Structure 1
Amino acid sequence: MSNHIAVDIGASSGRLVLGTIKDGTLRLDELHRFSNGFTERDGSCFWDIDHLFEQIIIGLQKAKAQGITRCTLGIDTWAVDYVLLDESGGRLQEVYAYRDSRTNGVMEKVAAVISPEKVYAKTGIQQLNFNTLYQLYAHDSAELARADKIVMVPDYLYYRLSGRLINEATNASTMQMLNLQTREFDEELLALLGLRREQFAALTEPGEVLGMISADLEQQHDLPECELVVAATHDTASAVLGVPLQEGRSAAYISSGTWSLLGAELNTPLNNEQAMAANYTNEWGAFGTYRFLKNIMGLWLIQEVRRLDGGRHSFAELAELAAGAESFRSLIPCDHPRFLNPANMIDEIRSACAESGQPVPQAPGELARCIFDSLALSYRSYLEELEALTGTGFDVLQIVGGGANNALLNQLTADMIGREVLAGPTEATAIGNLAVQLIQAGEVADIREARALIGSSFAITSYQPRPVPQLQEVLQRWDELNAALG
């Protein structure tokens, strides 16, 4: 029985998960869990990247203490954020968090130089003000010029473990700087930023072996012998790999966490005018695929409500309170920029409801119900868009990630979209990370076989749609609310 460890780090937490195949079943064991989050300093938002590296070491020490002496290891994190390195491999600055306000207005500045239509035709990546293209445009140009290498967050963590520099393709595609035709960094966009191709390492595909963890690290910290395998380092790319195989059915997916990523796996990009108008993205997936998807604000909304409420209620308790609150009483346009990083999420939700003439949610259950109802309606709208753009009618919506645990939201989603929702597995991101390691190790033949293994190894919950008597009135209110925002 071989040991494989997924380092899976999201915007709010991280974990090291051990994966093994026993009796034809993929088993997961959590080795270590830790918190993550950005901090504000001098008006800017930064990640504590050293904390993340330290937690990886702690997790590996725990693995060794449990008797794991050899393993493979893959890393995935969130996208778009980057690290600047000098010639000696040291960081030039702290790592900006994508919610930092420095990119406000930058899309408009870039659009005055190169049209958004041209950028989308080149890259197929949706316009988001925190894309790496706009972050780098806002970055101090002198500091960028001093950077010997520019890598993404998981690339940097691999570098700290191995000494090898890479730019893993699934995460690099989110930079909005890779050309779909050449499958390389676009020269015109590099010139726009005053950057050179040699400031980036070679694009690396999931499944490549980087070699062993540094001998110095292994000896200094008493770590297992780890063979480093390049995972699909963008967490959404790994989560999509962790979506179970649905034989004979056409499935869309939602990777539900801090963000909700709704989309479909395509073999060719779809970067036409209609896709751009709907702001869908073509992020690169593993094994020659594309993640054609829409970013939706997601569970960030409820995470912030819980935090500001002092953590008095667990997420499960908030869902229970929401189930007891009046349905569709108050709705918010989840994807409005006002909810990206407000000073106070609760105040922002209440203000949005008051401004649109709706009852203002007060109690935690009312706030949670407002969020879940609004998310379910967002999922309906975007699934309809996805079907129109791809020309595909989807039989089922597969929800993976932390949101798969939210029975209320899953049922509301099934009710809104009028078709079956399949929820699970929760740990799809770690599972997708492990899938690449299993394929590389030869324990499964390919991603098809890996997905079949996933489907037989983890519980999947089915939610069948129920009738909603006030559906037409709710949909009209929803349309009017979004139309009022232009």
Structure 2
Amino acid sequence: MEKVWAFDLGASNGRLMVSGFDGKRFYLEEVHRFSNHPVHLTGHYYWDILRIFQEMKNGISKSIKNGHKLIESLSIDTWGVDFGLLSETGELLSNPYSYRDPQTNDSFKEIMDVIPREVLFTRTGVEPAAINTICQLYAIKKNNPVLIEKAKTLLLTPNLLSYFFSGVKANEYTISTTTSLFNVHERNWDSGLMARLNLPAKIMADIVMPGTILGPTLDSIQTEFGISPVKVIAGAGHDTACALAALPIKTGNSAFMSCGTWILMGVQVKDPIINEKSLEWGFTNEGTADGEFRLLKNIMGLWLIQACRSVWAKDGKLFTYEDEAELIKNAKPFTSFIDPDDPSFFNPENMPKQIRDFCIKSGQQPPETEGDFLRCILESLSLKYRWVLEKLETLTGNRIEVIHMGGGGIRNDLFCQFTANATNRPVVAGPVEASSIGNSLSQWIALGKIKDLKEGREIVENSFSVKHYQPQNQSEWQEAFGRFVRLVDQNLIKRGF
């Protein structure tokens, strides 16, 4: 059986999966998993990219020990927007900043003074936001100009790691579309946009399409592990593009949800949808594995629960997923809601306190127990997904009949059921490791083993199980949605929108 390495790296953990394909079915084996969190140092949040690379190599060692030595290719997918800078000699100049670094907040405001939001959105199709690459690059130029002066090449995170393996410098299409530096009409870097901000367009490595074979692994990699050359493929570099590729979607009237630290919800479209409403509602247009676009919204996801767990753990309160499910079931439903995308939840020191403060300020009964907090979060998230779903239907002019959910978040049954209840749509959950599967699928297509994405999705459906959820308790969720919408509208007014 032929095999490939799929490195799937998220903003909270990374993993190496070995994907096998016998011509009819996929097989997936996790050989290594490691934590991944930004490091706070000198007032900034950085990614420890060398540790990440070492963990990837640790995964290769484990894979070889497990008998997976003959590997056809490897590909890497990651979260979006972040990047590394290389010197003239190809050396890494510094640890990459994390999108959660606060320095981008001021740069976002300054960029909006030079380039109106409408202009930026019209050219790039991406919702203007402080986390986007354009803001980080602008902040570095302002606060650390020497770094920009020394930079010869900018590589986005998956492509930086591919460079470590292959020595080839290139930025892949799907990850490039997340930056607010990619012109969706010209399908290339927007040099005019960068010129208006005095950003160096010359450092942007060329864009390649998903499935481009960059070359073999470096001799040093082969020597270190005693392996034959492995093809390094620039597959779909953005984890959400990978997740979408793996979902067994059969109809155009389907929405997708990639469920993890963030929730990305949207539909696939042939061309970007760029108008006043898509800008007003905070939608974005990013690339797909087959060269089209994902009209989607970035929504706060399981980060809210992850941040609560961190606080509770400091008090010695550790809960399994089963424990959390029981806590939620025992909590009173629809007691209080939050607006998950309120900026106060982006990176607070104490998430439970932030949630409690939000509820008090909005005139609601605040959560008391851990179960109350968890239920408040899941109900609020699910109701926000209905809000997004209705906006997607308005923008596309099509009714969405079914929601496909993939990613680690779907291990939470209540999360999936609440989503079905809130949206009043059937939910198809699976596969769990959607990003890893989509990563390997892009490799098999590049290697010529699978014809295209349509054929690949059929193979995925025959290879991995999915779970179906039907809407329940509609009258209660309908009433809750009305209260939730009023809360979100009032919150936007308070914030000056």
TM-score for both structures, normalised by structure 1? 0.97
Q: Pairwise CA RMSD of aligned residues?
A: 1.4
Q: Is the 8 A contact 1:251 1:394 kept in 2?
A: yes
AA aligned to 1:103 is T
AA aligned to 2:468 is S
Superposed CA deviations along residues 363-412 of structure 1, whole A, max 9, x for unmatched, are 21111101000011000000000110111111101111011111111111
Within 5 Å, which residues of 2 pair with 1:311-390? 312-390=318-396
Q: Distance in 2 between matches of 1:365 and 1:22?
A: 45
Superposed CA deviations along residues 132-162 of structure 1, whole A, max 9, x for unmatched, are 1111111123321221011111111011111
SS at match of 1:288: coil
Within 5 Å, which residues of 2 pair with 1:8-19? 8-19=8-19
Q: Which residue, 255, 259, 263 being the options, matches 2:258?
A: 255
Q: Is the 8 A contact 2:382 2:415 kept in 1?
A: yes
Q: 1:249 to 1:149 in 2, by over 3 A?
A: closer
Superposed CA deviations along residues 70-108 of structure 1, whole A, max 9, x for unmatched, are 211110011101111111111222211101111123322
Which residue of structure 1 lines up, in the alignment, with residue 192 of structure 2? 188
TM-score for both structures, normalised by structure 2? 0.95
Q: Which residue, 149, 162, 177 being the options, matches 2:166?
A: 162
Structure 1, unmatched stretches of 5+, are none
Which residue of structure 2 lines up, in the alignment, with residue 87 of structure 1? 88
* Residues 1:46 and 2:54 aligned together: no
Give percent identity, aligned residues only.
37
SS at match of 1:253: strand
Superposed CA deviations along residues 231-251 of structure 1, whole A, max 9, x for unmatched, are 1111111111111132x5621
- What is the CA distance between 1:198 and its match in structure 2? 2.5
Q: Which moved more, 1:58-67 or 1:417-426?
A: 58-67
Q: Distance in 2 between matches of 1:320 and 1:225?
A: 50
Q: Which moved more, 1:307-316 or 1:156-165?
A: 307-316
Q: Is the 8 A contact 1:245 1:452 kept in 2?
A: no
Q: Distance in 1 between matches of 2:232 and 2:212?
A: 9
* Residues 1:4 and 2:36 aligned together: no
* Residues 1:171 and 2:172 aligned together: no
Structure 2, unmatched stretches of 5+, are none
AA aligned to 1:455 is E
- What is the CA distance between 1:23 and its match in structure 2? 7.0
* Residues 1:238 and 2:222 aligned together: no
Which residue of structure 2 lines up, in the alignment, with residue 415 of structure 1? 421
Q: Is the 8 A contact 1:245 1:448 kept in 2?
A: no
Q: Distance in 2 between matches of 1:223 and 1:31?
A: 17
- What is the CA distance between 1:206 and its match in structure 2? 1.0
Q: Distance in 1 between matches of 2:22 and 2:207?
A: 34
AA aligned to 2:28 is L
Which residue of structure 2 lines up, in the alignment, with residue 451 of structure 1? 457
Which residue of structure 1 lines up, in the alignment, with residue 36 of structure 2? 36
Q: Distance in 2 between matches of 1:444 and 1:95?
A: 35
Q: Which residue, 142, 155, 164 being the options, matches 2:146?
A: 142
AA aligned to 1:212 is P
Q: Distance in 2 between matches of 1:435 and 1:475?
A: 38
* Residues 1:304 and 2:310 aligned together: no
Q: Which residue, 429, 440, 449 being the options, matches 2:435?
A: 429
Which residue of structure 2 lines up, in the alignment, with residue 68 of structure 1? 68
Q: Which residue, 290, 301, 306 being the options, matches 2:293?
A: 290
Number of residues paired by the alignment?
485
SS at match of 1:326: coil
* Residues 1:21 and 2:21 aligned together: yes
Q: Which residue, 274, 278, 303 being the options, matches 2:277?
A: 274
SS at match of 2:211: coil
* Residues 1:226 and 2:230 aligned together: yes
Q: Distance in 2 between matches of 1:53 and 1:173?
A: 24
Q: Which moved more, 1:214-223 or 1:159-168?
A: 214-223
Q: Distance in 1 between matches of 2:388 and 2:272?
A: 18
Q: Is the 8 A contact 1:162 1:214 kept in 2?
A: yes
- What is the CA distance between 1:68 and its match in structure 2? 2.1
Q: Is the 8 A contact 1:145 1:195 kept in 2?
A: no
AA aligned to 2:17 is V
- What is the CA distance between 1:472 and its match in structure 2? 4.2
SS at match of 2:230: strand
Q: Is the 8 A contact 1:252 1:263 kept in 2?
A: yes
Q: Which residue, 263, 268, 278 being the options, matches 1:265?
A: 268
